[in-house]
């Protein structure tokens, strides 16, 4: 669960910004909400190949899978300097990027958010403030990393869970947290807002559904990614 240091910084850093300032940031454009895998040097973040593997959720914060996290060319192209590794595997490029390792399994019983989100918030904030771009990744980029990203959106953008889900789903349609993580997200929303905009649906596959019958776009999930 350690944090590795990087030996590399971008030559031109972005203006300093904190997580608190993210509330006012606009969503990334369709061309920027992009993502990689098997991408060549001639491909860019707007290519179809990239969009299958990584996407910008809000400026400076990206979500992706392990394939994207393995690709140094990709990470450098989108300006990543720090990574939140939400897998059981070791950090991939500790000599090139800063890391926060959150070693958790993708199982409904796993304590992901209560034990780890405060530390992730503080760590991401330190890098955003320093002008660094951060990638949050897990093996498939759809359950563990998505749950962490939804937690970040609830905190830094003041969104309801359904608003955060809609925002994240637009950037990366493949996301689907497992049932246990959905429950943790509902508990997080209730602790932050005193109420819930979403609830876990009555299915063994799990779904976050609007509490009051709002938009029909629910979070369809499965137990293991």
Query: How do residues 169-214 score in pLDDT, each as one tens digit?
Result: 899 988 989 989 999 999 999 999 999 998 886 664 445 777 864 4
**Is 182 marked active-site?**
no
What domains are defined for the chain?
A: 3-10+27-174 (3.90.190.10)
Task: State the pLDDT at residue 34.
Answer: 38
**Among 84, 97, 131, residue whose Cα is nearest residue 7:** 97
48-105 pLDDT, tens digit per residue, is: 666 789 999 999 999 999 999 999 999 999 999 999 999 999 999 999 999 999 999 9
pTM, to two decimals: 0.77
Which of the residues 83, 138, 182, 186 is marked catalytic? 138
């Amino acid at each position: 669960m350690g944090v590795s240091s990087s030996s590399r910084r971008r030559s031109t850093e972005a203006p300093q910004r904190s997580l608190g300032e993210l509330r006012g940031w606009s969503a990334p454009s369709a061309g920027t909400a992009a993502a990689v895998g098997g991408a060549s040097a001639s491909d860019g973040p707007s290519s179809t190949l990239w969009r299958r593997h990584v996407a910008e959720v809000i400026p400076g914060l990206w979500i992706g899978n392990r394939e994207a996290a393995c690709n140094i060319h990709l990470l450098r192209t989108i300006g990543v300097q720090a990574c939140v590794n939400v897998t059981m595997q070791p950090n991939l490029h500790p000599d090139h990027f800063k890391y926060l390792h959150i070693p958790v399994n993708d199982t409904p019983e796993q304590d992901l958010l209560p034990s780890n989100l405060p530390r992730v918030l503080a760590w991401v904030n330190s890098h955003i403030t320093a002008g660094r771009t951060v990638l949050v990744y897990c093996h498939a980029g759809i359950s563990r990393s998505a749950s962490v990203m939804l937690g970040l959106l609830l905190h830094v953008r003041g969104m309801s869970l359904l608003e955060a889900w809609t925002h994240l789903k637009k950037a990366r349609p493949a996301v689907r947290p497992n049932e246990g993580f959905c429950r943790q997200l509902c508990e997080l929303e209730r602790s932050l807002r005193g109420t819930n905009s979403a609830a876990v649906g009555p299915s063994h596959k799990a779904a976050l559904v609007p509490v009051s019958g709002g938009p029909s776009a629910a979070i369809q999930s499965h137990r293991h990614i």
